[in-house]
Every structure is written in structure tokens, then in C-alpha cells.
Amino acid sequence: MKKKSFILSFLKYQTAAISATLMDFAVFFILKDEFDVWYVAATAIGALCGAVINFILCRNWAFSSKEKKLAIQISRYVMVSAGSLVLNTLLVFVITELFSIHENYSRIFTAIIVAITYNFTLQKYFVFKK
């Protein structure tokens, strides 16, 4: 039963994360390609927009964790999101500059790695723990 519950929460989280990532990437590409915003700044702004969507979906659906105080969850989420923002922004910069990989590809690769490892683990066991 516990394994089934973990898998279900993982799948629901990934669905929420994909939705948030779509927002994140839309903002990233629009800022970078349409408004000529530096890709590092566009990464940070996109990640912030995605974080807001992700919090709403995770609290209300993926982890169904509405019984905890909103202020506590928000403060924990801000800490985790700040770390995620730093990781995403730093990794996009390093991968793009150090390995000469186009920023679009480094952004996608980074988002997947950070979402599956860092974000899911900390959101499940720290932000939205039951």
C-alpha cells in the first residue's frame, strides 16, 4: 500500500511539475526570444512563474496537503524554490558556457534533473509532508 501511495504521489507531482514547467518554459522562451532578455534572467523569471503554479497544484492536488498552515507551507516552499531557482539558473549557465551547449537544451536538461531529484524529494518530505 505504501509503495502504491508513493507512486501515485510521484505521478501526481510529475503532472503538476509538467504543468508548471510549461509555464516556466513559455515565460523563458517568450522573454528570451521575443524580448531579447538575457537567457540567465529569463531562466530565473520563468522558474519563479512556474514555482507559483507548482505550489498551487501541489498543495491542492498532488500532495493534498491543505490541512497544514498555509504560512508554514509557503515559507518552506520559498526555501525549496529558492534552492531550485539557484540550481536551475547556475546549472543552465554552467552547462551552456562550460560545455558550449545551446541554452535551450541546457534549460530543458537542467529542468528535468532538478525536478526529479531536488524538487520532488523536498516537496514531498519537507514542504507538504503529512
Q: What is the pLDDT of residues 44-93, one digit of tens each?
A: 899 889 989 999 999 999 998 887 799 999 999 999 989 988 998 899 99
Q: Compute the distance between CA of residue 74 and CA of residue 72 in angstroms, rounded to an integer.
A: 5
User: Structure pTM?
Assistant: 0.78
Q: What are phi and psi of 13, to 5 degrees?
A: -60, -45
pLDDT(23) > 90:
yes
Please give the pLDDT value at position 1: 56
Cell 501526481 sits on residue: 12
Residue 36: CB atoms within 10 A of its CB come to: 8
Average pLDDT, the chain: 91
CA nearest 62: which of 126, 10, 112, 12? 12
Check: CB of residue 99 under 8 Å from CB of residue 92.
Answer: no
